[in-house]
Chain A
Amino acid sequence: MAASPALEAPETVDRHGRRWFYRHPLVIRLAHWINAVVLLVLLMSGLQIFNAHPALYWGAVSTFDDPALAITSEQGGDGKSRGVVTVGTHSLDTTGVLGLSRGAGGADVERAFPAWATLPADQDLATGRRWHFLFAWLLVINGAVYLLYGLFSGQLRRRLIPDGDQIRDFGGSVKEHLLLRFPEGTEAKRYNVIQKLTYLVLVLGLLPAMVLAGLAMSPGMDAAWPWLTELFGGRQSARSVHFIAAGLIVLFVVVHVLLVLVSGLVNNMRGMITGWFSLGRDRETAR
């Protein structure tokens, strides 16, 4: 059997009746936690920026009467305001969260995303932009360190490229995943195939696309690199892609955190903080 490098790696230690595996090198642990904080600040300051003009369009320019998506508030027949999300011709009452929500003062205010979701909490585009651009630089620098380290140490290939046997048993892996059955012992030394593909899409697809779509909205970048804005189909398309990609990253984080919880919160957290991941108490399964 052609064993993968991950299976051959002898990075295990037996201690306290358990077999331990050094799962995450320091650089990757640091990059992970920096990324978590940076993405949170980028998301919340991004929602602050979105609130300044809570509508999305497709193409080069805004078609103000006909947005692809809009988060507004409108007066109902009873004279009461309500929050409304409109996507194309469909609209949804979102009072309390989107369009109309409780402000810092306690009264209902018209704002697309609520105060608890934005940075700063109050409507303040200027400060939101400052947070966003500073942390965008941190995202880029942190991402570059992660990718360069991953490439040159072989970690990226070892951790994230599915092994031959994993691709052959793709169906089986999907089934196990859906049943929330997680591998133990030696098999737990590597990510399963769905995990690998998801992380690959995130680090090589979504996050770089996010940065590029952000840059494509910049009039300065549009002058320097007009092809970039064209790649996204225009500035307003780039803004929509940026918004959708943000949503997908949020979706990833939600699923990621849920799976961390159900697959062993303590072991996973210990792994990502100290690097050491327990392969289990049973010597038989751990071999």
Chain B
Amino acid sequence: MILHRRKLLTAGAGLMGTALLGGCDRFAGTDTGRRTLQVGEDANLYVQRLLMGPATLAREFPAAMISPWFKPNGTIDPPDRAYRALAAKAFADFKLTVDGLVETPLSLSLADLRALPSRTQITRHDCVEGWSCIGQWAGVPLAELLKRTGLKPQARYAVFHCADTLEYAGSQDGAFLRPGQPGAVREAYVQLAAAEDWGGAPTATDAPAADWGQGSPDPEPDDKGRPIRYYESIDLYDAVNPQTILAYDLNGKPLPVSNGAPLRLRVERQLGYKQAKYVMRVELVESLKGLGQGGGGYWEDRGYEWYAGI
């Protein structure tokens, strides 16, 4: 009798547990669920900004602590033809565009960027997956560029358009490609992209460099096959921080392709996925609504927090 009751209790608890947790996953999949789960992110942003000022710096480390190997993650070799053409000439033809809600748009070569005031910092890179590396970055502070372009009063966010294709619109659910996912799927994609690129057939990846990030990134039916390249965004609070730089050197050498050559964003108070690689264009905007699905970045549109301070 007691045994039966115990079995019943155990089975009941097991069922309840399963229902509860299955319910959790279903709840997370609804709009209400997503909005509820987002409350934590809002609280993190609000409280962290209470605890720091716009000019608060991330910790900088002594040169002796630089990691012997700076782990490349995400795209490590962009398949895009336009990018490869630039890389083949050591980015001699590369031009960074700064436009959008600015008074004077700019187009700058690597030499132009290196002639501007620079900042060098040894900081820790914290990946959302959990690992960390320390590296020395040198680059031009974003604030220096914004000083030269000037800002229109409506400008609220800086958007970074990158050269690397992560997937093709409509070809597969992008949410399947997550930073925490074993790399096999992503590698297959990159190989596919590379094969298409070098196969001679004109594909959307042949977009001229001036077109980085142009057009509506929302997948439209006729949009199938259009490459979705990496994009990220920060607000002006982070954009004007002295440590927010577009880095061209890593550990005293020109940035390697695997780490984001020719330019990589550093926003040191946030996680790794905010540190956009292969930056081609900085666009100042008023709202993130028109960008991708409105989350503010490639991973943000796939469920990750826009504010990656934790």
Contacts and interface: CB of A to CB of B under 8 A. Distances in A.
Nearest to B37: A130
B21 A44 contact: yes
Residue of A41, A51, A55, A219 ringed by the most chain B CB atoms within 10 A: A219
A218 B309 contact: yes
Contact of B28 (A64, A110, A131): A131
Contact of B128 (A50, A52, A236): A52
Interface residues on B, range: 35 or more
Given A64-B69, A124-B178, A127-B303, A220 B130 contact: no
A119 interface: yes
Interface in B252-310: 268-271, 299, 302-305, 308-310
Contacts of A126: 178, 299, 302-304
A221 interface: yes
Chain B, interface SS category: loop
Interface in A124-168: 124-127, 129-137
Given A120-B25, A125-B178, A131 B37 contact: yes
B40 A50 contact: no
Contacts of B268: 219, 223
Nearest to A61: B132
B67 A127 contact: no
B310 A223 contact: no
A219 B271 contact: yes
Given A52-B180, A126-B302, A127-B28, A61 B41 contact: no
A119 B24 contact: yes
Contacts, number: 147
Contacts of A125: 128-129, 178-180, 304
B275 to A, nearest CB: 11
Contact of B131 (A53, A132, A215): A53
B52 A223 contact: yes
Given A50-B130, A120-B25, A125-B128, A223 B67 contact: no
A189 interface: no
A239 B130 contact: yes
Nearest to A119: B24
B11 to A, nearest CB: 16
A134 B126 contact: no
Given A221-B51, A223-B52, A130 B41 contact: yes
Interface in B111-134: 124, 126-134
B24 A41 contact: yes
B169 to A, nearest CB: 20
Contact of B41 (A49, A133, A223, A235): A133
Given A127-B303, A136-B40, A224 B56 contact: yes
B309 A121 contact: no
Interface residues of A, number: 46
A55 B21 CA distance: 26
B195 interface: no
Interface in A219-240: 219-226, 229, 235-236, 239
B210 interface: no
A219 B178 contact: no
Residue from A53, A61, A64, A119 with most neighbouring chain B CB atoms (10 Å) = A61
Interface stretch (B57-65, B82-90, B213-221): B57-65
A277 to B, nearest CB: 21
Contacts of B201: none
Contacts of B104: none
B58 A219 contact: yes
A124 B25 CA distance: 11
Nearest to A121: B25
A132 B303 CA distance: 14
Interface of B: 21, 24-25, 28, 36-41, 43-44, 48, 51-52, 56-59, 61, 65, 67, 69, 71, 124, 126-134, 178-182, 268-271, 299, 302-305, 308-310
Interface of A: 41, 44, 49-53, 55, 57, 60-62, 64, 110, 119-121, 123-127, 129-137, 215, 217-226, 229, 235-236, 239
13 contacts: A123-B181, A125-B304, A126-B299, A127-B37, A127-B303, A134-B36, A137-B40, A218-B309, A220-B51, A220-B269, A220-B270, A224-B48, A224-B52
